[in-house]
Structure 1
Amino acid sequence: MGLNNIHHQTPDSPIGDIAYLSRSEHRIPALVALAERPRSRSELCEETGVSSSTIRRTLNEFGERLWIQKDGYQYVATRLGEAIATEMDDLLDWFETERKLRDVWHWLPDEVSKFPIETWSELTITIADPDVPYRPVTRFESLLKETTTVRYLRPEVALMDPCFDVLCQLVDDGVDVTLIDRPNCHTYFLSTYPKRCSELLQQDNFTVLEHDELPPHGTGLLDERVVISCYEQDSGTVQGVIDTDVAVVNKWAKSVYERYRSDARPIESRQIAE
């Protein structure tokens, strides 16, 4: 039966249409694909990974809703279908972002919840996974390699291998680096890597400050890109890294950094000598 001969049914409700699209994982991708360009039924089978009979039923159901029309041996989205495809694709992106934020929400500063919601989709969220626990560290390493300035509150992620090697190279290359952390963190790091730390502290472009009351998360400025690092409080493990160049987040991060920077102090000479 051709799509043009199908009796057009009125959906029970908008919720019914949403439920229809979400009940099978192939339906939204199929509609999005048809909104991009005309496709044959075999192309849709290949792209969605479902059978020819399933795609046939899906196309008939799309046709009943006037979301698609047939063009020779191919199918293409109507303007109605394009609108639905765009909105559903955006909605999926929102949910993907929300699910990632959900995993680190309790580690994030309260200010994140006050950012305009539309900025959330502009956040790159990298979460540690049991199979890939160093994924956030790897993401931070890639950002660190591209920056020409480093300003960071609670920079534990920057002091982990292999990020620390990149940080040392940046200092050697003349990049300005300022790290603000807690005294006990400095004490541990200076005692663990005495020679390397001594060499870094002799560089004019490397500044280490300390502050007694830093937040539980890290806030960094790599040029105009903001990085928020989420740490497990007991172990200090990096659970997630969020980065973005959205202006409102950058403005917030700069104000936070400057506030703590104004109260921070140089590390004691006794610590350096140890």
Structure 2
Amino acid sequence: MAPNIGWGRTADSPIGDIAYLARSEHRIPALAALAERPRSRSELCEETGVSSSTIRRTVNEFEDRRWIRKDGHQYVATPPGEAIVSVMEDAIDRVETERELRDVWHRLPDVVGELPTETWSELTVTVADPELPYRPVNRFESLLERTTTLRFVRPEVALMDPCLNRLHERVDSGVDVTLIDRPNCHLYFLTTYPERSAELLRRTNFTVLQHDDLPPYGTGLLDDRVVISCYEQDSGMAQAMIDTDVPAVRDWARSVYERYRSDARPIEPRQLVD
């Protein structure tokens, strides 16, 4: 009788195969390596960092399941083996994305939750942590290097150090920027960086607008990426950022920008400071 693995399923069931691959960290990488090209057992040892006896047992299990076949002194994945490892790698990617999103999910717009799970691998999620609090800001800075336009509703992630210097440089190089934010946010940057703010506001390719009723998250449109940023309620620090080129998210982001752009009004720096 096959051993029971829980949920009333046995080791020769589909869940049994999934459990077998998931129980040891080397098994999926080993099968993925054989899906790429033929490899010997010694190459698999080097690839996965496990002992020759462990690889020997793994290869035997893979052969029993018809996931691999022998090719001379090497092994190579069969079409069923390629299929199962592709499914497992997709599942790992989706779980990794979910783990990054789970603590900030409630701060994100509904469009993210409505995405088909197969598109999750197309989301780049950057979350701040105590040791690296500026990870989202640094990620946005890297995206800013590759765009010629920027349209951003609630752009705090673009205005935080160390990104502010890069934004200034990109405006100097001709990037066309429109930022829509709340009056109190503009007031903070105008009073904290008065000289830099005044210089930016003189640029014809730098437009700053204000709106009194913005969503709790940021929405940015770059040439080929969309950015969604969420902020801590108390500090205003960027807690996480998602960037993607999924067309459905870009359509949504464009509609968000156009909606708030139509109601936004130019800032009046002297009035804000007064």
3-state SS of paired residue (1:204): coil
Report the residue type matching 1:137 in the other structure.
Answer: V
Asked if structure 2 preserves the Cα contact closer than 8 Å seen for 1:224 and 1:250, the reply is no
SS at match of 1:70: strand
Show CA shifts across 1:88-128 (max 9, x none).
12221121222222232122112221233332221111111
User: Is the contact between residue 107 and residue 230 of structure 1 (CA under 8 Å) also seen in structure 2?
Assistant: yes
Match of residue 133 from structure 1: 133
Question: Conserved in 2, the CA contact under 8 Å of 1:123 and 1:243?
Answer: yes
Helix, strand or coil at the partner of 2:102: helix
CA distance in 2 between counterparts of 1:64 and 1:180 reads 61
CA distance in 2, matches of 1:125, 1:173: 28
**Greater displacement, 109-118 / 147-156:** 109-118
How far residue 272 of structure 1 moved from its aligned partner, in angstroms, is 5.9
TM-score (norm 2): 0.92
Q: 1:91 to 1:137 in 2, by over 3 A?
A: same
Shift of 1:273: 5.8
SS at match of 1:103: coil
- Percent identity between matched residues is 74
Do the aligned residues in 1 keep the contact of 2:187 with 2:273 (CA within 8 Å)? no
Please name the residue that 1:248 is paired with: 248
Aligned mates of 1:149, 1:78 — CA distance in 2: 47
Cα distance in 1 for partners of 2:66, 2:202 equals 70
Structural mapping, 1:208-223, within 5 Å: 208-223=208-223
Q: CA deviation at 1:269?
A: 4.3
For 2:110 and 2:250, the matched residues in 1 are separated by 15
Segments of 5+ residues of structure 2 without an aligned counterpart are 1-9
Q: Which letter maps to 2:54?
A: T
1:164 aligns with 2:171: no
Give 4+ residue runs of structure 1 displaced > 6 Å after superposition.
Answer: none
Q: Label 1:17 to 1:192 Cα distance change in 2 as closer, same or farther (>3 A).
A: same
Aligned-pair CA distance for 1:229: 0.9
Q: Distance in 2 between matches of 1:232 and 1:84?
A: 40
- The within-5 A match list for 1:10-89 is 12-89=12-89
Residue 192 of structure 1: aligned partner: 192
Counterparts of 2:79 and 2:131, CA distance in 1: 43
> Under a length normalisation based on structure 1, what TM-score does the superposition of the two structures give?
0.92
Summarize deviations over 1:111-162 as a string: whole Å, max 9, x none.
Answer: 2212333322211111113332222111100001111011111111111122
CA RMSD after TM alignment: 1.6
Structure 1 residue runs of 5 or longer lacking an equivalent are: 1-9
Amino acid at match of 2:92: L
CA drift at 1:64: 1.1
The alignment partner of 2:103 has SS state of helix
Deviates more, 1:210-219 or 1:165-174: 165-174
AA matched with 1:62: F
Rounded Cα–Cα distance in structure 2 between residues aligned with 1:70 and 1:176: 58
Change (3 A) 1:54 1:269: closer
**Corresponding residue for residue 108 of structure 2:** 108
Tell me how far 1:260 sits from its aligned partner.
0.6
SS in 2 for 1:42: helix
The 1-side partners of 2:26 and 2:33 are apart by: 10
Q: Distance in 2 between matches of 1:159 and 1:86?
A: 40
Counterpart Cα distance in 1 of 2:193 and 2:78: 64
Give the letter aligned to residue 12 of structure 1.
D
Query: Does 2:95 correspond to 1:95?
Result: yes
Cα offsets for 1:48-74 (capped at 9, x unmatched) = 111111111111111111111222221
Aligned length: 265
Range that drifts further, 178-187 or 71-80: 71-80
